[in-house]
Chain A
């Protein structure tokens, strides 16, 4: 960690960003004392967020701080109580829901730093919503209301985020949405409604889509989530360390390495542990293999949706090859079990390296040949181009992340802007496109896959030692950390906090899908409903990652 001189405290009257005086500036993956996060008034927090986001920063997370972080009550004590009688599980939830402090984390991508600020919303548990001036806060504020009963006053569309009827005990003051939630409805001659889900026709996760159409044209799409809500954050807090890791790996199964990396980085930062370099290397290689498998799989699925079956077959097969490479490293096709706190579980030797290098070289050639054919096929281009366009302003307003944002010229990439681990030593150029349509999102995947192929080969050649782990020791008390990882879908954020005893007392997970689902709803507006599958696949968002 020596190349960082430590987080910089913003100075009073900082010329460059005057609003920043109220923030604590930290870095991705470095812990800070919770006490150092300035406690400001709600209106100052609001103004700071709106001001900084109007100048290129982004909202990474907006969440409630658990009151337990400051009290002497540890989650273990809470867990013991929860075992006493069944009803107390609900009570423990409500106790946590009684916190009145909110924490905002902003990312300043240009400077590579994260801004932290908190505010007390008071006993009334209400505050003026950020969303009217900062649309990217919309889902975070719905979550605050639904899970913690903190009411964002003036939120333009305070509808359920995850919870349906009879799920958990809703936080006091928040709603328990019934099955009769009124979807946005368009009325008029020739208007019809199409309802899809929760169980879909293919092999995918559940969610409900409500289209308002005029003929073939989609006027509006509303997406109802929550079918996948398992209660992952609460479960993670109560669980043993071994269980926590497998929960992190199961937040979104196609991003097992990404979420496990975010979790491990956060916990290692709380313990201020440093990792052997070989372990960082193997984590980075696994993350890129995961990206390759998913990007190539997505290209195949996009081909399948426009009936270009040669592409669907070849990319589908190549995707499997990259999953099998992950298995070669970790013993599981999705890289489960590879990471552990303090390093990686699997060793690495020269024979695996040679084997992987041989396979990658072969697959790279096949991938490139097929991609060239695909991107020259008129039947593919006709369906991809000018379909599902997201405007740059929309993407900016909604705070979109990952390939979806890069497809409209928002060059956001955690690997480049907020590098940790391997990416501090080895760089990947950020892929960018500008048209914001399905074509652009496909091209981004194609470029990123090529760069990851090159990156993985270079790193494999450098990797000689057997990677392993170290003991990370105990967590420091009263600390806070945000760990960002660029998963294949975009920015994964994990926020972790310890209480006065050094026990984990708060955990917030933000999957890239949480930012991007609204982007999909905007992308299909004005398109034909028959183009929905290809739009959807070009986003390929996670239901479980959103619902947690």
Chain B
């Protein structure tokens, strides 16, 4: 085994261990073989926890290298074990198997097997391409600023504000750069070709995480075809290995949305904590992450209060998740770097003349949004239409939850459109570059919530 292989193995094994420890502390998994199905969720949660804490360590002036990584991981594992020992309660509920006839079982097995096969093909194909490492430089932004940011953290054993200022978009938060720099440390050098493999693992972990999260609510003949379609949709599959943060942001927001909906449905605090961790990581992943995470926290907390009144008041803690960006903003401000994107100014929204002058950009953005979501590609439009149908079905059963999710979709898309409206860059750049990347978060959230919505709608009504 080479140094690189060993480094990657340690990195990924520790992330899984940390994730399992957190899930164990939350009572979402038990120490038994059946919990292996949560390996994807464990990886995603481990990545999010380590990412947030290493980023905060970096901002505190601590080298986010191997010793810090191992100390943080060890602390999380020990604290999780101690916490669970004191509070042995569990929210783990095995899958419910509705009694079915033999014929119905066979019929249900067909889409499940087909979906699982497609998902396996998509995942194996992505890994097969990723191990060659050739796609790390597939996007200009990767070698323009994402990888150089990781590289400077790796070489400087921290964050050198003078070098950081010379890299484009210094205002973007550094979580992914910190995690990539950690990978370089573990593999023993600046080897950008290992990044596609790590990115692909995270993507596959996300798909497995969604399956694990919705498994208690949706039968696999519903969830597996949905995930198979998402996984093999060309833009999703191609970006599994990209060293861009947009898809990682989408994973975190989508998993947080699922955790948020589960909390709204069954009010198990474990899922609120899970949503908090994922939203905090999303906030530190990209500038847009703060907006989308804040919006999600707001709609979930609001729906919780509508549904459960005072009993859900502490869901407002979710709103603190995006506040994890504050140390980052303070660090930027302290070093005289821009804290917001220079591409647009929110104050322009108050300038009526400026807005009316650019009315064409707003209508153009809406038109592009419609085209991008509905007409551009068969797979994307299938994901969108089925998500919308599932949301409408859910609205008949659980209107508050459906309303909250719908509000998040509408406000997220509206937020993007407003940025394109007031943005200083050309509209065509926004539509060809930004929309096709940031906009995918909305599609991924929709695609992964679909099986949960259908599963919840199919569940027997319960007294509330």
A binds B: no
The residues of B with any CB-CB pair to A shorter than 8 Å are none
